[in-house]
Structure 1
């Protein structure tokens, strides 16, 4: 197989790379994806992601190590194992991050990753239903829904409560001002999920120069000296190899890109030798600096109907399903996160440090093997959630063994700094402040979680340690930087000291973005493709 680029992973960044690098017949591209097709009912159905949360057919279903910061619990870490990667199983919220996040990136990685470059790229990527302006794009490959047609009436009550609590309305979180409360834009088109497989990979697959192999799990990168020349992969029970004429690009995500680097001999030398792995390059930062957002919900029983009554009974599911199939509308056509927001726990801060999620349903009674999005509680419920935007706690991705099919060790270290604990304590109090405003208070029957008896700071901390978990935004585990002792990549995504090998996905982020990470992952693929193409022009 004669190819220019081998891309490992058909996820949020990998799908973009395949499309951009092959555009105009510029290059021959092979994409190797361990998972299978994205053409599945519950992938296409936006709210169907609850069915994918524990499904090993489309999801790696990783388990983090028991974490003292999370009351010694082992958190579930879903990661997409499917064309489109996590963009095919996520909650579809389209958030770029705060503009200053890209100032942070520029300070580390230069103007190619700065706010001006990011804005231009996002406007080129987007086909925004709300129309083009100085911030939004129109006519790009990725459709962005304005999310105005399927909103539950409680969304308006939430927005009014936020306003009286001091969070002004924000018409576009990706526009001039992120702080405030508003409605989330979604990667949904005509009531169907708009994953990167749909927006980027499938158009690329129509080209003669692009080949995608599913069920192909890459086990290591192949080297000649200190230059990557191809990869080894396992497919249909056979071990195969393929050479890359130009480069190998790892886009396996913030968990598996560092895992592959280490399996291939790039990482902390002592750890690799202890597992019997050869050392190509001693890169101590591989798998370090794991950064993620932690979140939790507060839940109330309501006096008015919520989506619980719509989606709980079998006949409600049937009616919602028929509506979605016939019209592409209704509760199944959107994310469960309808309202949202960003706020500061300290007015002295220069940018928001907390993100809000409003859900017109509740799921206190879990169903085994399913995130109960499609089976909510048997009473009207409302959930207000939040997550921290820029936590200071750091974790690691390390190898359990030299077996490429063994899951890596994920050590989160959640809430391991006093700063993270203090800001989350302040943040959960804000949830109660919002719920106490007249627009919501008149509709609330009772607080169910954590419950009105939980008021002291120590009890609130104990509660959020017990009930928090990842919001699936792992990043920075092979980050861009200038010092090989503390980073893995240069500002063109090249692995320090290694030829022919780049990493292009959320693991490359210099810092964690203050918001959902699917948009920045797509951005990384877009900018990364331009840099790679320029280097081979």
Structure 2
């Protein structure tokens, strides 16, 4: 990337140290006063562990009424990850997202370097699972899609936890609080074959700090592959993916600020309250352990800033928002989790909760790809002949390939010809029949990426979004500084194997072999190649190449009080069970089941919901909100 682009990007960091005029505080705030000097013990009403997607949303809402401290192990992605976390195109090629633990690019300022155990269902591979260590969390490195799940997903969540406030119609007000929607800029998109309609009533005119829009550029390869999906019988959605329906195809909403075409992350929440409240952010500070009193009330967090240890106390509550891998780990090293595990590492038992670290669910996708004759963003940005023009277009008009990370997504239930006994066993069909009728089973992601010779590879990539396989997470010592031990569980359930096989065959036969895409194909199938024919060969290919969507959930499962023995870790208000008080978990780890959508929108809504619960007195109410 040329220096000119880096130099011209504006950062919101200045708002952190220079109070803006017209703020709602009763007096001015000293520059930098939101960032305490490390080493001094301090007490706040609420202590939030983790300044990520959920943590900053929750902290900013609570800071309007209470004193709040945020403990975040990382720093500022705008600095530590430069343009890769700011310019939309680079969301697709963040350097440390590689899977292979032997070859991925390490980034100790931004990534936790988590490596899985060998995956028995995925050819014994060990997977590097990127998790952002920065203010903004995974919203600072994701691919910017904003997609809510289907109505049936939330209604099932409500039934699972015994709380009707999780039904879709009751969650909708919380979905509307975080984002501000900007309609598409048709002139900049300038792609007649990528027009669409959407439901503006799914958003509020008084939305919050998160910016939701549509990309100002459409990748030509993606627009062709979208036609291929439509030729498969997956129609264009009239509503989009934010009104409780998740079926058909749509040009996805993206988390991009349309004014400057920068990433819009959870950092926007912090920026919106930094000069209006007394929120305090302990950055580059790791939570080591939660402390409890004799009545099992969480009282404080032992933290470390570059080896300097001190204590941050909470007069009201501590909230864990450390993510699907670190929230359960922090619970266990603090004495909450499976008794046998804690005994093994001589950790004093606070609460025996066997579900901590269990119920890990992670979606996968795989590629079916051909060489194609259409240009794609990667070729334009990487080519010396077109790179400078792309940068100028981005900087001067906020358009062009650098302005876009969004593409075309499609969702469906596997159609009838692929649900027969020759494709799916009775067990698999029975499992699928237990899902709500509007719950899709497959997501299709379309993408074009450069080959080594400057050409384009087009991929129709199916994702298993109703996984039945389960993984787990545990600890290797009593120290939070030792990475957790986790098995993602990919393809360990036969139902997922059957779904992967059936979907692969559908993409190959109904997608690439249809005439619609003949106009852009320039050669035979690249991945996996025509020689891969039998079920055994296809499944072997999928096992050896399956990729993650970084949508892991479930390791601190939400459930009902009294279900601790069957895996519940928190109640419907996020409060930790097992007789513990003063402690909640609010992040994707509490999801009872993986949403078929992308999780970011639901994480924001969950944080908004629990913040509302806390501000109203700490208890969920089973009536409509």
Task: Tell me if 1:247 matches 2:317.
Answer: yes
Task: Tell me if 1:42 matches 2:84.
Answer: yes
* Secondary structure in structure 1 of the residue aligned to 2:361: coil
* Secondary structure in structure 2 of the residue aligned to 1:448: coil
Q: CA deviation at 1:530?
A: 0.9
Q: Distance in 2 between matches of 1:470 and 1:448?
A: 21
**1:142-177 CA deviation, whole Å, 9 max, x = no partner?**
444442531123333223222221101114022363
Q: Distance in 2 between matches of 1:58 and 1:166?
A: 41
The corresponding residue for 2:598 is 516
Uncovered stretches (5+) of structure 2, i.e. residues with no partner = 1-41, 97-104, 184-197, 420-432, 620-625
The partner residue of 2:280 within 201, 206, 211 is 211
**Is the contact made by 1:290 and 1:396 (CA closer than 8 Å) also made in structure 2?**
yes
Q: Distance in 2 between matches of 1:176 and 1:400?
A: 41
**Is the contact made by 2:226 and 2:446 (CA closer than 8 Å) also made in structure 1?**
no
Q: CA deviation at 1:536?
A: 5.2
The partner residue of 1:443 within 499, 517, 520 is 520
The corresponding residue for 2:293 is 224
**Is the contact made by 2:149 and 2:244 (CA closer than 8 Å) also made in structure 1?**
no
The corresponding residue for 1:13 is 54
Higher Cα Rg: structure 1 or 2? 2
Q: Distance in 2 between matches of 1:469 and 1:449?
A: 14
Q: Distance in 2 between matches of 1:71 and 1:142?
A: 43
**Is the contact made by 2:465 and 2:596 (CA closer than 8 Å) also made in structure 1?**
yes
The corresponding residue for 2:36 is none
The corresponding residue for 1:127 is 180
The corresponding residue for 2:366 is 296
The corresponding residue for 1:186 is 254
The corresponding residue for 2:32 is none
The corresponding residue for 1:96 is 148
The corresponding residue for 1:468 is 546
Distance change >3 Å, CA 161–CA 48, structure 1 → 2: closer
* Secondary structure in structure 1 of the residue aligned to 2:370: strand
Q: Distance in 1 between matches of 2:212 and 2:575?
A: 34
Q: Following superposition of structure 1 onto structure 2, how do residues 318-467 of structure 1 map, counting pairs within 5 Å?
A: 318-335=388-405, 337-347=406-416, 350=437, 351-362=439-450, 378-432=454-508, 433-446=510-523, 447-467=525-545
Distance change >3 Å, CA 402–CA 15, structure 1 → 2: same
Distance change >3 Å, CA 276–CA 362, structure 1 → 2: farther
The partner residue of 1:283 within 353, 359, 366 is 353
Task: Tell me if 1:112 matches 2:151.
Answer: no
The partner residue of 1:502 within 584, 589, 611 is 584
Which is further off, 129-138 or 208-217?
Answer: 129-138
* Secondary structure in structure 2 of the residue aligned to 1:27: coil
The partner residue of 1:266 within 336, 349, 369 is 336
Distance change >3 Å, CA 88–CA 465, structure 1 → 2: same
Q: Distance in 2 between matches of 1:132 and 1:499?
A: 42
Uncovered stretches (5+) of structure 1, i.e. residues with no partner = 366-376
Q: Distance in 2 between matches of 1:334 and 1:397?
A: 35
The corresponding residue for 1:487 is 568
**Is the contact made by 1:287 and 1:396 (CA closer than 8 Å) also made in structure 2?**
yes
The corresponding residue for 1:369 is none
* Secondary structure in structure 2 of the residue aligned to 1:212: strand
Q: CA deviation at 1:407?
A: 0.7
Q: CA deviation at 1:182?
A: 1.8
The partner residue of 2:130 within 75, 78, 81 is 78
Q: Distance in 2 between matches of 1:492 and 1:356?
A: 34
Task: Tell me if 1:3 matches 2:44.
Answer: yes
Q: CA deviation at 1:521?
A: 1.2
The partner residue of 2:613 within 513, 517, 531 is 531
**1:106-142 CA deviation, whole Å, 9 max, x = no partner?**
1022122221122221122221123873323333124
Q: Distance in 1 between matches of 2:445 and 2:149?
A: 15
**Is the contact made by 1:94 and 1:144 (CA closer than 8 Å) also made in structure 2?**
no
The corresponding residue for 1:371 is none
The corresponding residue for 1:370 is none
Q: Distance in 2 between matches of 1:254 and 1:176?
A: 25
**Is the contact made by 1:291 and 1:512 (CA closer than 8 Å) also made in structure 2?**
yes
**Is the contact made by 2:559 and 2:592 (CA closer than 8 Å) also made in structure 1?**
yes
**Is the contact made by 1:353 and 1:514 (CA closer than 8 Å) also made in structure 2?**
yes
The corresponding residue for 2:71 is 32
Q: Deviation above 6 Å: which 4+ runs of structure 1?
A: none
* Secondary structure in structure 2 of the residue aligned to 1:445: coil
Q: CA RMSD in A?
A: 1.9
Distance change >3 Å, CA 491–CA 145, structure 1 → 2: closer
Task: Tell me if 1:162 matches 2:232.
Answer: no
Q: Distance in 1 between matches of 2:69 and 2:594?
A: 29
**Is the contact made by 1:18 and 1:29 (CA closer than 8 Å) also made in structure 2?**
yes
**Is the contact made by 2:179 and 2:212 (CA closer than 8 Å) also made in structure 1?**
no
**Is the contact made by 1:11 and 1:86 (CA closer than 8 Å) also made in structure 2?**
yes
Distance change >3 Å, CA 521–CA 536, structure 1 → 2: closer
Q: Distance in 1 between matches of 2:588 and 2:605?
A: 10
* Secondary structure in structure 1 of the residue aligned to 2:235: coil
Q: Distance in 2 between matches of 1:205 and 1:144?
A: 18
